[in-house]
Structure 1
């Protein structure tokens, strides 16, 4: 009963995080629609996406990736085995060291912005105006790294204590700020795209301020202190080094896509951005949610010497990810053009841009399930504070991604970059799973063959329903936004209903999701 209750608790917590994240992702789609309508895939849009991607990449790599995976297991151990005063001291000293390091990085980033742009988008060197604009925008957006990393720190505290709703809702504020800046601030700038950069800057302050009262209620509002030789801080920093590679390989691969795309025709960076945003919808709405929820649980199970519970939690998480990730990947692949058209084909977004973005989305869709699996498999290592295995896997996959990029970019252009990212993510997920199985940390529970059969049957029912209702892409181009919105909603709703009906007809019941 305790095991079943724990799984039900994980399911409820995952549902809360998924709901909050889905709200953020929906607003993110609205944000991207506004940006696409105002700026399309112009040179200014390319410049902004680079300036936004750099701190956003570092945020995912450093804050939500390496830091979260290193901080939460140590904090969970302190919570399980030590007093509240010792936990508070760890929080204070971690905040002090983290704040100091991030402040130094931010100062360097702002001062060296043009050179960082040249590093991340060397293809801009042939377009001095775009290079200069990207550098100016990066000076405005780079401090977001400091602010959002501190927000990730407070999120880690809240998640460790079972408070998932507030961190899940926080990203909504970024989208609200960027939408407001695009709609209301652009007339006040000689270069309108700068309004978006200031929207990112403002959002950093808003997100950090939003979480502080909730951390204070736990009695853990940080008073930053710097002590280099604190044992807990030292362990967190040691864990962060390999986590930089192991958790965020997919983000590094996406960044490599952007670097290479900067050498391709104008618009390539934007096409990959719009496609990536849609491919991340299921990842953010559920994959990251599951990974966020299970990490504290896995950390406590490891600290409490409960290997059976540890394996059972991983097994449940894998099934939940497959239940959402497989149909999501299939739907993104077959609805790529309708989705891009319905969301972005307005204003400055041309038909050619829609087609090119859709081609990239089809390639990214192949890796959606792998992206999601990585988010639940990596915590299996870091909850155990295993450093070496994820690093080896990360390095292998980075090398593989670079090789795939070089092979595929010439015949497929930007689509080849997206495909390379998907292939390397598949390799990453496979190696992580194989590693957990090899050391005996994860032992699959009974029923996987039947679960897989039901899952495939549900996906077949979904595909048949969607193809039956689909219209040629030329008709989508001719429709107004109302017709597009109505038809894409119909396709999504009918697809979900057909998938669920297929699962039910094959015998899957809600109780199967709890044990």
Structure 2
């Protein structure tokens, strides 16, 4: 399990690093103005739909069912995958055609603030028509990735997002040949979709599992899939409704608010992707396999190890994003068209997101115990409750805190969601909140507090020592913070947990 986590996490980390390089180019070329806002709407819309229908709901319903069939009969599993592929492809083509035809109305609904700004509105329509076919391609990528994950092949699905970053960097470098930098970035998104599709389809073909078109038939397996898909879609939709609300409300804010949300979210997504999604991706087929053979104890142990790994690797990000977000944003993005004022706005937004970072990274592992049991309905209750609180807080806070209020509301909603999921799991007997878990959680919190204090002091030291530098002042400060943070955190973990705990965590 650990090797697979590091496979997914390693490729995801490489994806995030190339993503930062891409975002640095975006910030320098697009800045935080009208063109950037229009492009980020064009990028968010297909990604929201992907999160609802592909990565979120689809994986939750498909992976446990495919894993169960694959463990029994490869022929049955292939027929099931063929039928789901046919249904998925047909539905996505219909959605794509409808979106293309009614894109002005879609933008008017999902970015209503652009109605008063014809420049951003028309540009958003044009760019979204370019990026939206990415949804069809990435949905098929998700299908192939889920099938490969069941076979314990995680590398290609984890590496695929790297193509998005490289493709956008290439088209941004050639922006002079496009109407503007926004169009260059949008075409980069579409090209990446074809590259990712080719990678996953090739890997599936090499492993003999590439699905083909099949006559549509609602047999028992397909019906069971749809019974699981419905609640999972509602649950995934709940989370995405909150993100849609961010986009909708931010379009009414001054130019630059959407960009601040984007860049803050990009940094916030680093631990979510590298840690939370990576561990959750490995945990779901692992627990599904264990529960198929009625190994309840093993499934619960796998989930507990996932919690430990998640907290171990995510706590440094929480401490850094809460303590020194301004230094991080200036060092990463404050160059070219992206000013230090833009970095300050994005930094404040990042700190608000960081309040909810722990539930962001833990939620995939928390809901895995339900999805592995083919129960996609229970997490919906928690998700919808969290969304209701989230959206209500957004409306209450946006007037006084602008985009920072949107991020803060998202963080609070994430905590509500996670705590309810854990409560439901404990009540059902899927998870035990014993002293061992409480003690380790307290130690992680203490390690985070020690790290936060060290980062705060190091940042003050860097401000005084690097003040005379005319260039790379923030970059030097960030490098110092990384070194100090690594030493303090590793020392804190060894002091609080001991080497024996680390060795046992790796061995198990």
Identify the TM-score tier after normalising by the shorter chain.
Answer: over 0.9
In structure 2, the partner of 1:84 is: 74
Q: Are the equivalent residues in 1 in contact too, given 2:51–2:236 (CA < 8 A)?
A: no
Kindly tell me: are residues 39 and 68 of structure 1, through their superposed partners in 2, closer, same or farther at Cα, counting changes over 3 Å? same
Give the direction of change, closer, same or farther, for the CA distance of 1:475–1:199 in structure 2 (3 Å limit).
Answer: farther
- What is the number of equivalent residue pairs in this alignment? 504
Contact in 2 for aligned 1:171/1:207 (Cα 8 Å): yes
Structure 2 spans left out of the alignment, 5+ residues = none
Distance in 1, matches of 2:37 and 2:383, equals 29
Partner of 2:266: 277
CA contact (8 A) 1:250 1:371 kept: no
Per the alignment, residue 476 of structure 2 pairs with: 486
Counterparts of residues 278-297 of structure 1 (less than 5 Å): 278-297=267-286
State the distance in 2 between where 1:23 and 1:301 align.
30
Change (3 A) 1:437 1:163: same
After superposition, what is the alpha-carbon deviation per residue over 1:64-107, rounded to whole angstroms, capped at 9, x for unaligned?
111111110000000122x2222211121111111111111111
- The residue aligned with 1:314 is 303
Q: In 1, Cα distance between the equivalents of 2:467 and 2:127?
A: 33
1:490 & 1:119 partners in 2: Cα distance?
Answer: 46
Which of the numbers 93, 96, 108 marks the counterpart of 1:106? 96
Any conservation in 2 of the 1:458–1:500 contact (CA below 8 Å)? Answer: no
**1:400 partnered with 2:389:** yes
> Equivalents in 1 of 2:242, 2:54: separation in Å?
17
Distance 2:221 2:423 in 1: 30
Q: Is the 8 A contact 1:454 1:502 kept in 2?
A: no
Conserved in 2, the CA contact under 8 Å of 1:97 and 1:226?
Answer: no
1:86-235 paired onto structure 2 within 5 Å: 86-184=76-174, 186-235=175-224
304-313 vs 14-23, which moves further = 304-313
Pair 1:333 & 2:322 matched:
yes
Structure 1 residue runs without a partner (length 5+): 1-9
- How far apart, CA to CA, are the structure 2 residues paired with 1:390 and 1:308? 21
Question: 2:358 matched to 1:369?
Answer: yes
For the pair 1:504 / 2:494, whether they are aligned, the reply is: yes
Q: Is the 8 A contact 1:37 1:346 kept in 2?
A: yes
Residue matched to 1:41? 32
2:55 maps to 1:64? yes
Q: CA deviation at 1:417?
A: 0.6
Q: 1-side partners of 2:44 and 2:277: how far apart?
A: 19
SS at match of 2:497: coil
Distance 1:296 1:329, change over 3 A: same
Q: CA deviation at 1:388?
A: 2.8
For 1:460 and 1:95, locate their aligned partners in 2 and report how far apart those are by CA, in whole Å.
Answer: 48
Which range is displaced more, 21-30 or 222-231?
222-231
Closer/same/farther in 2, CA of residues 313 and 249 from structure 1, 3 Å limit: farther
Q: CA deviation at 1:477?
A: 9.6
The alignment's TM-score, normalised by the length of structure 2, stands at 0.95
In the alignment, structure 1 residue 513 sits paired with structure 2 residue 505: yes
Shift in Å at residue 159 of structure 1?
0.6
* 1-structure distance, mates of 2:345, 2:467: 14
Instruction: Flag the 1:173–1:478 CA change in 2: closer, same or farther, 3 A.
Output: farther
Question: What's the TM-score, normalizing by structure 1?
Answer: 0.94
Using the alignment, how far apart are the partners of 1:169 and 1:113 within structure 2?
31
Distance across 1 between alignment mates of 2:288 and 2:311: 23
Please show how residues 347-426 of structure 1 align to structure 2 within 5 Å: 347-426=336-415
- The verdict on how the C-alpha distance between 1:317 and 1:66 changes in structure 2, with shifts beyond 3 A counting, is same
State how far apart, in whole Å, the 1-side matches of 2:84 and 2:327 are: 47
Instruction: For residue 450 of structure 1, report the CA deviation from its aligned partner.
Output: 3.5
Which residue pairs with 1:5 in the alignment?
none
Distance 1:197 1:249 in 2: 27
Give 4+ residue runs of structure 1 displaced > 4 Å after superposition: 471-481
SS of match in other structure, 1:193: helix
C-alpha contact 1:312 1:445 (8 A) present in aligned 2: no
